[in-house]
Amino acid sequence: MPTIKDIAKAAGVSPASVSRVINNGPKVGAKTREKIKRIIREMEYQPNANAQAINMQNNASIGIVLADLTDPLFAKMAHGIEKVAAEQNLQIFLNSGAFDRASELDAIEVLLEHRYQALVVHSAMIDDKTLIDFARKVPGLVLLNRYIKEIEDRCIWLDDKLGGALMADHIVEKGHQKIAVIGVDGILNNTRYRLEGIKAQLNKYPVQFEVEMLEQGAATYEGGEVAVQNLLARGVEFSAILAYNDAIAIGATSMLKAHGLSVPKDVSVVGFNDLILAQCIKPKLTTIHNPIEEMAMKATKLALSLSKNSDLGEIESVADKHKYVPVLVQRHSVQEIS
Amino acid sequence: MPTIKDIAKAAGVSPASVSRVINNGPKVGAKTREKIKRIIREMEYQPNANAQAINMQNNASIGIVLADLTDPLFAKMAHGIEKVAAEQNLQIFLNSGAFDRASELDAIEVLLEHRYQALVVHSAMIDDKTLIDFARKVPGLVLLNRYIKEIEDRCIWLDDKLGGALMADHIVEKGHQKIAVIGVDGILNNTRYRLEGIKAQLNKYPVQFEVEMLEQGAATYEGGEVAVQNLLARGVEFSAILAYNDAIAIGATSMLKAHGLSVPKDVSVVGFNDLILAQCIKPKLTTIHNPIEEMAMKATKLALSLSKNSDLGEIESVADKHKYVPVLVQRHSVQEIS
DNA sequence: TTGAAAGCGGTACCAC
DNA sequence: GTGGTACCGCTTTCAA
């Protein structure tokens, strides 16, 4: 693999000139430039990005860490990030955490070692404190889909509490009183806030949320099946299920059917995220729209500008611009009861 | 951000010793080692991966290029790659192509510039010739989900023709004669081979495949809806649909229902890939299982070993080990007719 | 316009 | 064991 020196030699010029040509720099004679370009092509020269990075003291591409590649929400995030990267003609380097604290940490560490300046990280398993440290150390690090008060200006998050409230409100307005909730194990803040939102909203009505109505499991289709299984086995009565996400909602629906319960006739179900999935199934799922793609785009832009210019002088309130609002999408999985 | 020299100075040792400690090298006194380690921790030193790479003449992580992050099949690929990367304690750098020739090319180029030695690329839009050139230039480059005869030892692919045949065979055996096919636009080889498989198999029966039975569109849920719309609008008669993938099959199902046609009573539908989606919907989709995750794992292992040792001395036939076999999964979207 | 040379942050060989 | 130092591939002054 030829180096810049090989090219220089072959072209009878100095490495400096070759470098100038590579970077479209000024101060190179037209014919010299042409000649060098030709040689570069002939010898199939490819600049060594590592060597470049070491000199430029930075890495222009944008690094992203995703907690879990298998979550369909991921695709939307990645897509959003990709969009703005493409606009700016930047490459993205994705490092996955595989939903486990150590590998999430590892992923960030590696990106840092490669000196990526703009980092978008979607961490599910790393604790606040560690993240705060990272954020303080790396100006271009932005947290996607996570809220940490101390560094809220570096977070892009969804108002999960409102999301929970929306679900609760809708279902109560439709006359439901016995409301089961399927949450998710783990330290995810999303879960906690959504649950808080649900409880808070329920309390505004004469509907009490009892702990036995809560079932926790995996954030998947199978998780939904199991949760319903458990609910039924425990003999709890419910006319509605509020699920942590669409996959769970659909798994739940399927298991309900398996037990001869029809949705929404016997049980109403509400999902969360509004993935394409929600529209594919019968009945179409009533769910909460999660503007994750927009959020991802925003996070990317923010990371990019922070990495270039640590002082953005944001006048507007951070909360207004960094907090995104979920919205209820009514479809056909909820029925009014009396 | 401290460098190795800063650490050396602070510890009162030479950069060489620090380097040894960082790389767990031998020939460092126990106390010296401890001292250096302490300073490294105190100063929060992080090795510069770019500088390391430039010296080691290589990049240990594995680079992957995926044609399209929004395809759910992607998640499975990524997951497979991730699995083996984790086993080997390697990081993966993913660069997405966003389903467009130029960016796929770009993605490969960038990975090459960073001198990644092991590359797994899933390219949908780049032509054979270009890919062959890349493969010849880069020993550790493996093509996932693609077959190119000239470099078949560097490809991991699905027997798409067989997949098509499986679909055709199944549907004909169930008594269907009027069989519509929904394919996909673009240069994807998968489409072509599957279609060939379908036609070839159909020809073994007294069932003729007419070109008007073919509808091409996007490989998505919406694509399936549109395709059925068109089929119906064109007035073609069919009792079965063979879809390029599950998403299309589900979109088609939905549109059929919208037109008062029930699956499988009025129309039978067969999908492809056997994603989780296929089991979520009603009726559960009869489809072709695509062992893409296994394939991805294999491709990764292959890339890794090729990058280390260009001569593997594979005794077994390449085709046996690189060609994967799709299998029919019967569920409830196909009905026998007479 | 061009080239020489000093780094960038490491690694590794060679002395001691 | 430890340190000195040339060098990896490239960028960027500074002179010429």
Convert the pLDDT of each residue in A264-299 to its tens digit.
999 999 999 999 889 888 899 999 999 999 999 999
In this structure, what are the phi and psi dihedrals at residue B46, rounded to the nearest 5 degrees? -125, 120
Model confidence, pTM:
0.91
Considering only CB atoms, A98 lies closest to which of B82, B114, B137, namely B82
Instruction: State the first-to-last Cα distance of chain B, in angstroms, to the nearest integer.
Output: 76
What pLDDT score was predicted for residue B317? 65
Do B50 and A103 count as a contact with CB atoms less than 8 A apart?
no
Per-residue flag: A13 CB under 7 A of strand C: yes
Laid out side by side, the sheet with B268-270 consists of B214-217, B179-184, B240-243, B268-270
Percent of chain A's residues with pLDDT above 90: 76
d(CA B195, CA B311): 36
Q: Please name the residue of chain A whose CA is at the shortest distance from the CA of residue B254.
A: A280
d(CA A196, CA A241): 16
Q: Please name the residue of chain A whose CA is at the shortest distance from the CA of residue B47.
A: A113
d(CA A218, CA A248): 8
Other CB atoms within a 10 A radius of the CB of residue A32 amount to 16
What pLDDT score was predicted for residue B281? 87
pLDDT at A328 over 90: yes
pLDDT at A223 over 80: yes
- Give contacts of B44 with chain A, Cβ < 8 Å: 137
What pLDDT score was predicted for residue B310? 53
The token duo for A67 is 């907690």
Q: Mean pLDDT in each 10-residue stretch from start to end of chain B (338 residues)?
A: 94 95 91 95 95 86 86 87 89 80 91 94 93 95 96 96 98 97 85 95 91 94 96 96 97 96 97 92 94 97 86 60 96 95
Give the residue carrying structure tokens 């594995």: B62
Interatomic distance B43 CA / D12 C1' (Å): 29
The token duo for A256 is 């309900």
Taking residues A210-217, what's their average pLDDT?
94
Return the ∠ at Cα B248 (arms to A259 and B170), rounded to 5°: 75
Interatomic distance A85 CA / C13 C1' (Å): 43
Percent of chain A's residues with pLDDT above 70: 96
Interatomic distance A32 CA / C1 C1' (Å): 10
Q: How, if at all, do strands B327-329 and B287-289 pair?
A: antiparallel
From chain B residues 30-69, the ones with a CB under 8 A of any chain A CB are 44, 46-51, 53-54, 59, 61, 69
3-state secondary structure of A102: helix
Query: Cα A295 to chain center, whole Å?
Result: 8
Considering only residues A101 and B165, tell me which one the structure prediction assigns the higher pLDDT.
B165
d(CA A327, CA A313): 30
Do B69 and A91 count as a contact with CB atoms less than 8 A apart?
no
- Give contacts of B70 with chain A, Cβ < 8 Å: 75-76, 78-79
Per-residue flag: A139 CB under 7 A of strand D: no
Confidence of residue A14 (pLDDT cuts 50, 70, 90): very high
Interface test with A, best of B280, B281, B300, B332 (most A CBs within 10 A): B280
B239 CB contacts (<8 Å, ≥6 apart)?
B176, B177, B178, B179, B266, B267, B268, B337
Q: How, if at all, do strands B116-122 and B92-96 pair?
A: unpaired
Do A95 and B94 count as a contact with CB atoms less than 8 A apart?
yes
Return the ∠ at Cα B329 (arms to B326 and B334), rounded to 5°: 125
d(CA B109, CA A316): 40
Confidence of residue A311 (pLDDT cuts 50, 70, 90): low
From chain B residues 288-327, the ones with a CB under 8 A of any chain A CB are none
Considering only residues A86 and A238, tell me which one the structure prediction assigns the higher pLDDT.
A238
What pLDDT score was predicted for residue B314? 56
Q: How, if at all, do strands B240-243 and A116-122 pair?
A: unpaired
Confidence of residue A316 (pLDDT cuts 50, 70, 90): low
Residue nearest to nucleotide C13 (CA to C1'): B16
Q: Please name the residue of chain A whose CA is at the shortest distance from the CA of residue B250.
A: A280
Q: Tell me the shortest Cα–Cα distance from A114 to chain B, in angstroms.
A: 5
Considering only CB atoms, B46 lies closest to which of A47, A70, A112, namely A112
d(CA A39, CA A183): 61
What pLDDT score was predicted for residue B185? 85
What pLDDT score was predicted for residue B255? 96
What pLDDT score was predicted for residue B92? 87
Do A280 and B250 count as a contact with CB atoms less than 8 A apart?
yes
What pLDDT score was predicted for residue A312? 53
Other CB atoms within a 10 A radius of the CB of residue B36 amount to 24
- With beta carbons less than 8 A apart as the criterion, state whether A334 and A286 touch: yes
Per-residue flag: A58 CB under 7 A of strand D: no
Give the residue carrying structure tokens 């063979």: B242
Considering only residues A71 and A139, tell me which one the structure prediction assigns the higher pLDDT.
A139
Residue B274's beta-bridge partner residues? none
